[in-house]
Amino acid sequence: GLFPCSPVYPALAISLEMLEFTVTLFIHLALNEATWCDALTMFLSKRGHVFDAKDSFRWIFGTALHQYQVLIQVVNAEMDKQIGIARQEVLS
């Protein structure tokens, strides 16, 4: 699936797998999203994919990554809540 970079008129949709890979990568490396985006921007520009502004991909990707991480936290919190409710019902 794809995750939009913004809720209204997204300029880019990013693969959920890529976002999850990025989260995992950032946990295990000292790099940050700015460095990763700069490297990917250079990689893509050599292949003919050009962004309007120097930092546009970094901003777009950073926004999507942040919103994805918030979504994961909300889902995990709701799952924990529902598991707690179910556990209480079983134990009652």
> Mean pLDDT, to the nearest integer, of 40-65?
80
| Structural contact between residues 57 and 51, judged by C-beta atoms closer than 8 angstroms | yes
What pLDDT score was predicted for residue 51? Answer: 78
- The CA distance from 16 to 2, in Å, is 5
Nearest CA to 22 out of 74, 57, 66 is that of: 66
Q: Quickly state the pLDDT bin for 56 (edges 50, 70, 90).
A: confident
- pTM exceeds cut of 0.85: no
Domain coordinates of the chain in residue numbers? 15-91
| pLDDT surpassing 80 at residue 14 | yes
